[in-house]
Each structure stands twice: as structure tokens, then as C-alpha cells.
């Protein structure tokens, strides 16, 4: 999994050359090794790990991102070297003075305050360079809010806090920039980003594309269906929507346009399918890990709750492209052009083993941190082991090699080594022989590249987590979150639907300028408690704001996923965004259905029959909404027929007495009408 990308690939990686490029490469490797070391051996306190993690994030940010986006990033200016070095040095402050900071907790010195102000300012500047002004301004407003409390009007007023109290909260304690989001970034998120980076370097993208082509490439509208299936597969290892667009989209968008899809529609399909990766178990987006830590439930419960909505989301996208293909008369690829899915799996089956190990550990009750270390180690073992085994000419000797590796693991386990240390020893043991032959050195280069890319991919997520810590720290200090939640409940006046709509609007408005992670953190802190007060189950209330934070990346005017797709499709990102909102119908509808019937998220001890009924109802609603949105079902639809389909879908979403019965009746009449109309069209033809 990678965290939510919050800028385009070009901006993130720039065009650094020579010594500057090598410096960024080395920093990335050291950053990743530090995170693996602390995750495997836990030698440092959590506050120190968070502080050094933020130091590395700021160091990498100032090396990668220029003062202005208009500046060519072919070298690193001297002042960015100074900012980068200062950031990293101050990131060590909690490590060097750890004991002193504990002793004088709550009574910061002048040095503490000065360092705190500088670090907070550096976090704001790094976030501005990566994400623009929206999030820094939103979080920055909370600083004067904390200081000027008594001067504020009405419900915004509070007793006010001193400057030293504010810096103590935001820099020295575990509630500010080193709060829960940074803790999750420094542990689970970073490891899962590395995991996705290793699998991508091992060839997982190619495997997913080949399997997708083999499964659906030949069907009606096959190229677009390949985009949906391939992005769905990528979602199992890479929870970043924009990153998915920029990887699978390079292959799928040109393929769709080549076979007749409009460029804007092709971009919308890829954007929609890629954003679903954040809600696709078993490895979801970074938000899922933050959610698990925030509400105190195992990650496996979050993943289980997301299964049905994720399947419905991708079913909706698949159905939409099928209808568009029917409307436009688009065909698929020829069978000869499609690789064999079975052959692709047969040749690359070993790449699934780390994913299987990861999922097994996550759903067996192990922590995401442990699962991430083991999954990452298994992937590194496969990459290095595959290279070593490939250099052995005889097939039998290759089996002996893998058997010897398994026996070595068993011996280390019997000797009492912890699993994390055991797998580290095996990786190092295989890496050393690679230094002595050409193919081995090449695979070590792949490992180093995976480490460096993983660190670079983690920068946007980590900086966003640190900056949002300012907002969380102030809301914790002042108690504004509970006041805001009370205001939503009062405004809704007991009407749950109105509260849901207000929360949805807040998520989408915030999402016009914010990435998914800070969007979720803010709305989870402020709006989700309001839904909880109105009786919505804990996981469902947080999933509701999570889903609409994702939808914000598809919804104009900003629509970051659409913006990424537009660079490949060469179509306007606004047009792509509006088409994506139609294709992603399930993303807008299913959260409302889940609130009224939590069985859709497997909450509340539901029966199998109830879950099956809710899924069937959602599928019928999606089928009708797809016809209304595209203008085609079994035949092309005129406007009265589209309104008819919309009415049927709306009745199935509503949770009022007899709306289900009316919805099914309207749906059945619509399907019969379309069937008869299609039969007449065939006879006429």
C-alpha cells in the first residue's frame, strides 16, 4: 500500500541529476532502513521515532520540492540544502534531549520553544511546497484560534492559552505534529508503502495487467474493463488513488482511447477505478490504518467492514463501462491480442506469496506493524532468492536452494529467534552472495531502488499527517471538536439524513483543497462524533467520512485523481471529474445505505440473509443508476426512461417504509420494458 499521493509524479520526483539525484537516492535508502530498523528491533521510544521520522520527511521534502512549482527542479539550491539539513538536525532534538524533556515536561525552556517554532514553521513550508496553500492555511488558522480564545465571539470563545502552552502541545507532546497520524505514518503506513514499492519493482504491475487482459480484454468494451480490474488488483497492494492513475493509467488509458473510448471517459474510468484502491481490502489506503488507531479497533475489522462496499464500488465502475461500450458499440481486443491469464499466474504466482502472508497475519490478529515487517521481508526474500535461483542452471538444484532456505528458516525459528529478526537474517544472508556476480548486483540495485522509491512515496503522506497534527492538537486543547459536533446535531434537529448530507458536503468541500488523509482526520475529529451521537455505529460513522473524503478526489473543481488522469488522457480534468462522479455512483450511494443498514458493512451481528438482501438491493440500484447515468441499458434510453431508472434507484436507496417494495416494482417494470424494447429492435433489424 502506498499512501495517498498528493501531487503529480513529475512534481514529486523532479528532474534532479548528478550529485543531487544521488543524494536524494541515498537519503531515501537511509530513511527506509531507519524505519525498518525501528520497526524490527524497536530500539527507540515512540516519541523519538516520530520526531526522527518527521526530520527525515522534511529533509526529503526540501530536497525534492522547490520553493515554487514554476522553478525547474534540475538541481537543489543552496537554501534548500540548508533547510533540509536544519530540518533533519532538529528532528534529532527529541532523541538527544529525551531524558531532559521528560524531566521538564510541561515546563518548556526558551530553547524548547525556539526549536518548536522552527520545526512547526518547517512543517508548514514543506506542506505548502507539496500540497499548495489550502491545507497550511486551514491548519494555520487554528494557531491564533488557540491564542485568542477570550476575544472570539459566541460559541467559538474559550479561555485562551499561552504561547508556551501551545508550543508545548504542538511540539513537545504526543498530541501535536507528533500525534496519532504521525505515529501511524512512522509505523504502519511507511512499511506498507515500502511493501507496495517492492512488489511493483518485482513486476506486480505487469502481472496484474496481463491477468486483467486475459480475463476481460476480449469482452465488449474490454480495454475499459481491463482498467477497472487492473486498478482493483493494484488496490490490493497500493492504496494510493493518484499513484494508481499514474502507474496503471499509463497502460490502460491509451488502450481505451485506441479502441474507441472518448479520452475524457477513459481518464474518468481510470480515475474512478484507481481511487477505489483506498477502500479495497486486504491492503487499503493509509486512512484505514489511521482510522484503526484513532478508534481503537483492529485493522482486520476495518478491512472486513470495507469488503462489500469496495466490491459494490468496482461492480458499479465495471457496469458503467459495459453500458458505455454498449451505447458506443465498442468491441474488445481480439483473443490473439490478449495474454493468457492462467499463463501469467503460472509464471508469476510467487509474487502473490508475500500478499498472502500479509493478509494471513492481518486477519490472524497480528499487528499491522508485525505484518508489514514480515510481508516486506518475504518480498525482499523472493526478489533476491528468485535472482539467485535463476542463476542456478539445473531445475533440481533450484528446488534444493529453496528447500535449504526453508530449512534455514526452521533452524533459526527453533533457535528462538523472533520472526522479524529471523527474516532479517535470511535477507542479509541472501544479499551478501549477490555482491559477487553481475545479476546479483542488479537485483541489489532493484532492492535499493525500492527502498528509495518507497521513501519518496511516503513524503506526501507523512508531511500531511504532521501538519494535520497542528489542527488535532488545537482541537484537543480547546475542545472545539465536541462543540462543532453539537452544532451539527442541533442544525440537523434530530434528522439523521440531514446530518449525513451536511457531513457529506463538509467532506467534499474540504476535499476540494485537501488530500484524503487530512480530509478524513479533520472530518473524523469534527463531524464523525456528530453521527455517533445520532446512533450511527462507530466504524460506519468513520467509514462514511472516509468514503466521501475519497469521493472528493473525484469531485470537481479540484479532483486530484481526475487531474492526474488528464495528463495521460489529454482531456480537460473538469470533464474527467464530472464523468468520474457518474461512474463512481456506488461511492456516493453505498455509505448512505450502510448508515441505515449497517449489515452492508458487516456491523451489528447481521444474518447472512440480511447481508445478501442488502447486497442484492444495492446491485439493483447500481444497475438502474448506471442506465440513467450512461443513457443505455439493454437499449438506448430517452429522458423519460432515464428518469424512470433514477426513480427506481432512489427508492431502493431510501430507507423509508415500503420504499423497497416500490423500488423493486419500479425496477422490475423498467427491466421488462427494456427487454421488450430490445426484442422489438432485434425483430425490426
- pLDDT tens for 602-640 read 887 788 999 999 999 989 988 998 888 888 898 888 889
Confidence of residue 672 (pLDDT cuts 50, 70, 90): very high
Confidence of residue 26 (pLDDT cuts 50, 70, 90): very high
Distance between CA atoms of 179 and 47, rounded to whole angstroms? Answer: 9
Buried b (16+ CB within 10 A) or exposed e, 414-425: eeeeebbebbbe
In a domain, 317, yes or no: no
In a domain, 462, yes or no: yes
**389 neighbors 401 (Cβ within 8 angstroms):** yes
**572 neighbors 636 (Cβ within 8 angstroms):** no
Distance between CA atoms of 680 and 685, rounded to whole angstroms? Answer: 8
C-alpha cell at 366: 497480528
Dihedral of CA atoms 359, 364, 367, 369 in degrees, nearest 10, equals -30
User: What is the torsional sign of CA 156, 161, 164, 169?
Assistant: negative
C-alpha cell at 255: 488502450
Residue 183 predicted with pLDDT over 80: yes
Q: Into how many domains does the chain fold?
A: 1
Question: What per-residue confidence (pLDDT) applies to 167?
Answer: 92
pLDDT digits (tens, 9 = 90+) for 491-509: 777 788 888 888 888 777 7
- 39: nearest Cα among 419, 428, 442, 477: 419
Across 448-477, average pLDDT: 87
Name the strand (E) or helix (H) holding 585: helix 585-596
- 363: nearest Cα among 421, 301, 433: 301
Question: What per-residue confidence (pLDDT) applies to 364?
Answer: 81
In a domain, 532, yes or no: no
Distance between CA atoms of 587 and 550, rounded to whole angstroms? Answer: 9
Question: What per-residue confidence (pLDDT) applies to 5?
Answer: 36
**462 neighbors 456 (Cβ within 8 angstroms):** no
**63 neighbors 23 (Cβ within 8 angstroms):** yes
Distance between CA atoms of 284 and 1, rounded to whole angstroms? Answer: 7
Q: Which domain holds residue 165?
A: 8-197+357-475
Dihedral of CA atoms 309, 315, 316, 319 in degrees, nearest 10, equals -170
In a domain, 20, yes or no: yes
Question: What per-residue confidence (pLDDT) applies to 20?
Answer: 84
Confidence of residue 391 (pLDDT cuts 50, 70, 90): confident
Question: What per-residue confidence (pLDDT) applies to 132?
Answer: 81
Question: What per-residue confidence (pLDDT) applies to 33?
Answer: 94
How far CA 324 is from CA of 321, 576, 581, 627, in Å, comes to: 5, 15, 15, 9
- Angle between the N-to-C axes of helices 608-630 and 659-684, in degrees from 0 to 180, rounded to the nearest 10: 50
Q: Give CA 13 to chain center in angstroms.
A: 19
Q: Which residue has the higher pLDDT, 123 or 362?
A: 123
Q: Which residue has the higher pLDDT, 286 or 454?
A: 454
- 620: nearest Cα among 292, 315, 297: 315
pLDDT digits (tens, 9 = 90+) for 31-63: 999 999 998 888 899 999 999 999 999 999 999
In a domain, 27, yes or no: yes
Q: What is the pTM of this model?
A: 0.79
Q: Residue holding cell 440500484?
A: 621
Tell me the Cα Rg of the chain: 26
Residue 121 predicted with pLDDT over 90: yes
In a domain, 285, yes or no: no
3-state SS assignment for residue 632:
strand
How far CA 291 is from CA of 95, 303, 372, 514, 614, in Å, comes to: 28, 11, 17, 17, 25
Distance between CA atoms of 46 and 42, rounded to whole angstroms? Answer: 9
Most confident of 133-137, 305-309, 352-356, 650-654: 305-309
Across 218-243, average pLDDT: 74
C-alpha cell at 565: 488522469
3-state SS assignment for residue 636:
strand
In a domain, 78, yes or no: yes
Residue 239 predicted with pLDDT over 70: no
Residue 1 predicted with pLDDT over 70: no
C-alpha cell at 326: 454498449
Query: What does the mean pLDDT of the chain come to?
Result: 83
Residue 6 predicted with pLDDT over 50: no
Question: What per-residue confidence (pLDDT) applies to 558?
Answer: 62
pLDDT digits (tens, 9 = 90+) for 507-534: 777 766 566 777 788 778 777 888 888 8
Question: What per-residue confidence (pLDDT) applies to 13?
Answer: 41
pLDDT digits (tens, 9 = 90+) for 273-306: 888 878 888 777 778 888 888 888 888 899 899 9
Across 87-110, average pLDDT: 92
How far CA 24 is from CA of 34, 201, 457, in Å, comes to: 15, 19, 13
Across 183-193, average pLDDT: 85
Confidence of residue 667 (pLDDT cuts 50, 70, 90): very high
Residue 2 predicted with pLDDT over 70: no
Distance between CA atoms of 555 and 543, rounded to whole angstroms? Answer: 18
Buried b (16+ CB within 10 A) or exposed e, 498-529: ebbebbbebbbebbbbbbbbbbbbbbbbbbbb
Beta strands in 380-494, from DSSP E residues, in sequence order:
none
In a domain, 410, yes or no: yes
Distance between CA atoms of 410 and 363, rounded to whole angstroms? Answer: 23
pLDDT digits (tens, 9 = 90+) for 553-574: 787 766 777 877 887 888 887 8
CB atoms within 10 A of CB 428: 11
Amino acid at each position: 500500500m502506498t499512501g495517498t499521493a498528493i501531487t503529480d509524479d513529475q512534481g514529486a520526483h523532479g528532474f534532479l541529476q548528478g550529485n543531487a539525484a544521488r543524494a536524494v537516492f541515498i537519503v531515501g535508502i537511509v530513511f527506509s532502513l531507519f524505519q525498518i530498523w525501528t520497526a524490527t528491533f524497536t530500539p527507540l521510544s515512540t516519541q523519538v521515532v516520530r520526531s526522527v521520522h518527521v526530520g527525515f520527511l522534511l529533509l526529503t521534502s526540501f530536497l525534492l520540492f522547490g520553493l515554487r512549482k514554476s522553478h525547474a527542479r534540475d538541481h537543489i539550491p543552496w537554501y534548500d540544502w540548508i533547510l533540509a539539513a536544519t530540518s533533519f538536525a532538529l528532528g534529532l532534538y527529541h532523541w538527544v534531549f529525551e531524558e531532559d524533556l521528560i524531566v521538564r515536561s510541561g515546563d518548556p525552556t526558551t530553547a524548547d520553544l525556539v526549536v518548536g517554532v522552527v520545526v512547526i514553521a518547517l512543517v508548514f513550508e514543506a506542506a505548502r511546497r507539496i500540497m499548495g496553500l489550502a491545507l497550511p492555511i486551514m491548519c494555520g488558522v487554528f494557531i491564533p484560534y488557540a491564542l485568542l480564545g477570550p476575544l472570539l465571539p459566541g460559541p467559538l470563545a474559550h479561555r485562551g492559552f499561552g504561547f508556551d502552552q501551545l508550543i508545548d502541545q504542538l511540539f513537545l507532546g504526543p498530541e501535536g505534529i507528533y500525534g496519532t497520524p504521525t505515529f501511524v505514518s512512522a509505523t504502519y503506513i511507511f512499511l506498507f508503502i515500502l511493501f507496495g514499492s517492492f512488489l511493483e519493482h518485482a513486476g506486480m504491475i505487469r502481472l496484474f495487467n496481463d491477468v486483467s487482459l486475459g480475463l476481460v480484454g476480449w469482452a465488449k468494451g474490454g480495454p475499459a474493463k481491463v482498467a477497472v480490474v487492473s486498478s482493483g488488483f493494484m488496490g490490493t497492494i497500493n492504496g494510493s488513488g493518484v499513484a494508481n492513475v499514474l502507474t496503471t493509467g499509463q497502460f490502460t488509458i491509451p488502450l481505451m482511447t485506441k479502441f474507441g473510448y472518448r479520452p475524457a471517459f477513459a481518464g474518468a474510468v481510470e480515475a474512478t477505478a484507481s481511487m477505489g484502491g483506498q477502500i479495497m481490502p486486504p491492503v487499503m489506503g493509509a486512512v484505514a490504518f489511521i482510522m484503526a488507531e484513532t478508534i481503537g479497533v483492529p485493522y482486520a475489522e476495518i478491512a472486513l467492514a470495507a469488503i462489500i462496499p469496495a466490491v459494490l464500488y468496482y461492480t458499479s465502475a465495471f457496469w458503467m463501462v459495459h453500458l458505455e461500450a454498449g451505447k458506443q458499440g465498442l468491441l474488445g481486443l481480439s483473443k490473439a491480442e490478449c495474454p493468457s491469464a492462467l499463463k501469467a499466474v503460472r509464471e508469476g504466482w510467487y509474487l502473490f506469496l508475500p500478499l498472502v502472508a500479509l493478509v494471513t497475519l492481518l486477519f490472524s490478529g497480528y499487528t499491522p506493524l508485525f505484518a508489514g515487517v514480515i510481508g516486506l521481508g518475504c518480498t525482499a526474500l523472493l526478489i533476491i532468492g528468485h535472482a539467485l535461483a535463476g542463476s542456478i542452471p539445473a531445475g533440481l538444484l533450484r528446488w534444493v536452494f529453496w528447500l535449504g532456505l526453508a530449512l534455514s528458516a526452521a533452524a533459526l525459528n527453533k533457535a528462538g529467534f523472533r520472526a522479524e529478526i529471523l527474516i532479517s537474517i535470511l535477507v542479509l544472508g541472501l544479499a551478501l552472495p549477490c555482491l559477487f556476480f553481475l545479476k546479483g548486483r542488479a537485483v541489489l540495485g532493484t532492492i535499493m531502488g525500492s527502498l528509495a522509491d518507497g521513501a519518496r512515496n511516503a513524503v506526501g503522506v507523512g508531511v500531511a499527517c504532521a501538519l494535520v497534527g497542528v489542527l488535532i492538537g488545537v482541537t484537543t486543547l480547546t475542545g472545539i471538536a465536541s462543540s462543532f459536533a453539537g452544532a451539527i446535531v442541533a442544525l440537523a434537529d434530530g434528522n439523521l439524513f440531514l446530518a449525513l448530507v451536511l457531513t457529506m458536503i463538509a467532506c467534499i468541500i474540504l476535499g476540494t483543497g485537501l488530500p484524503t488523509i487530512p480530509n478524513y482526520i479533520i472530518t473524523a475529529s469534527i463531524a464523525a462524533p456528530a453521527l455517533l451521537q445520532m446512533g450511527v455505529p462507530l466504524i460506519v460513522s468513520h467509514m462514511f467520512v472516509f468514503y466521501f473524503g475519497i469521493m472528493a478526489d473525484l469531485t470537481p473543481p479540484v479532483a486530484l485523481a481526475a487531474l492526474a488522469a488528464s495528463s495521460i488522457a489529454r482531456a480537460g480534468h473538469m470533464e474527467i471529474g464530472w464523468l468520474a462522479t457518474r461512474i463512481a455512483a456506488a461511492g456516493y450511494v453505498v455509505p448512505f445505505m450502510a448508515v441505515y443498514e449497517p449489515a452492508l458493512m458487516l456491523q451489528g451481528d447481521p444474518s447472512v440473509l440480511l447481508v445478501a438482501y442488502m447486497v442484492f438491493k444495492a446491485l439493483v440500484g447500481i444497475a438502474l443508476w448506471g442506465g440513467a447515468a450512461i443513457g443505455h441499458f439493454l437499449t438506448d434510453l430517452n429522458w423519460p426512461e432515464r428518469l424512470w431508472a433514477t426513480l427506481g434507484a432512489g427508492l431502493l436507496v431510501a430507507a423509508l417504509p415500503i420504499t423497497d417494495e416500490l423500488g423493486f416494482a419500479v425496477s422490475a417494470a423498467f427491466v421488462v420494458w427494456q427487454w421488450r424494447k430490445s426484442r422489438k429492435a432485434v425483430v425490426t433489424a
